[in-house]
Amino acid sequence: MISLIEPTQLKNSLGDDGILFVRNDCIFDTMVKTPLLVASMIIVAALLPIQSSFSSPRDLDLIIYSDGTTHVSTEIDIDPFLTDYELNLFGSSIDNLVVVGDNGFLLDADVIDNTALIQTFGSSVITIEYDIHDLVSKQGRLWTFSLDSGTDFTLLLPKNSAIVGMTNLPINMELINEQNQLTLSSGSTEIDYFFSTNTIVNPIENTQNEKDYSLYVIIGGIIIIILASIIIIIRNKQKNVKVINEVIKIQKNDVLDLETIFKLKPDLREDDKELVKFIFNNNGQALESELRKKFLQPRTTMWRAVKRLEREGVIEIEKKDLQNLVKLCKTMEENN
């Protein structure tokens, strides 16, 4: 005959084949502190874009002069623990190279073919400016700009130039001092343009008011995430506090609080008060043996103290497994 007394949890966790199933929905709670997890994930998420952009240009801006020479200015994050950095220039015909490191220090650079070996000596960000004559070619009256860039870049075209062909989709276009500035994505780009003096009334309107909202979106996103995390953490804490409060209420509802006890019994000895505090903090009850261990008192001394408190009407003594269980009284009379 099957025993009628069977623990409910055991009953639920045993399958038909007697396999023991263990509930695992609390493992996550036990093993991982959620606020810690959320915070670390936010940090990871914030660091990922930084990490991916390490050692690559932050900005790349190009200006094409009307004779086809291009001014390149770029800012690069580099490893500050390196003594030098090898930069791939976009060609070998370079003029007016200036490399500036952290704090505006002028850095030395040796140009060999189309690379520049820059002595960085601990700089973490370097700014490079140079003029290059290899990016634009001219055939007849047609000018062709070609670049294979590893990053998005801006390109300011010369005055009175009119684009007649391109192989890349522009991200944006602005009009700066009557010159078209394109923002282009990374990859191979070819742009053909003519110079036009009388034919084109530039149809491109000024789009300068189209601001780059990307930074605001990123910052906004991070702020929202942080706020949401804080709210969730606070709510979580409040929940915990509520639960704890409820537990305390449940546990201590049926006994008076310490302040009330000491108000009602102002003549209690200090060592007896310590006993009451301990019992109160121990959910309102404790074995006499526990009290002896806690206060390192001989059996008789503790027995007298307990009896004293019983007389005062502060505690009551119950027998439990041949031991004295000392409980705080639920109601007390005031001493006059």
Q: How far apart are CA 249 and CA 246, in angstroms?
A: 5
Rg (CA), the chain: 40
Q: Cβ closer to another protein: 7 or 140?
A: 140
Which tokens go with 272?
A: 């007896």
Q: Cβ closer to another protein: 147 or 268?
A: 147
Nearest partner of 141 among 208, 71, 193, 197, judged by Cα: 193
- Binding residues for another protein restricted to 202-231, rule: CB under 8 A: 202-205, 207, 210, 212-214, 217-218, 221, 225, 228-229
Q: Cβ closer to another protein: 44 or 244?
A: 44
241 binds another protein (CB under 8 A): no
Q: How many CB atoms lie within 10 A of CB 317?
A: 15
- Position among 61, 75, 152, 274 found at the interface with another protein (CB under 8 A): 152
Q: How far apart are CA 117 and CA 106, in angstroms?
A: 14
Per-residue x/- marks for another protein, 86-105, CB under 8 A?
-----x-x-xx-x-x--xxx
- Binding residues for another protein restricted to 16-55, rule: CB under 8 A: 25, 28-29, 34, 37-38, 41-42, 44-46, 48-49, 52
- Binding residues for another protein restricted to 112-151, rule: CB under 8 A: 119, 121-122, 129, 131, 133-134, 136-142
- Position among 185, 253, 281, 289 found at the interface with another protein (CB under 8 A): 185
> What is the b/e burial string over 219-251, where b = at least 16 CB atoms within 10 angstroms of the residue's CB?
eeeeeeeeeebeeeeeeeeeeeeeeeeeeeeee
Which tokens go with 219?
A: 């910052």
- Position among 171, 227, 234, 247 found at the interface with another protein (CB under 8 A): 171
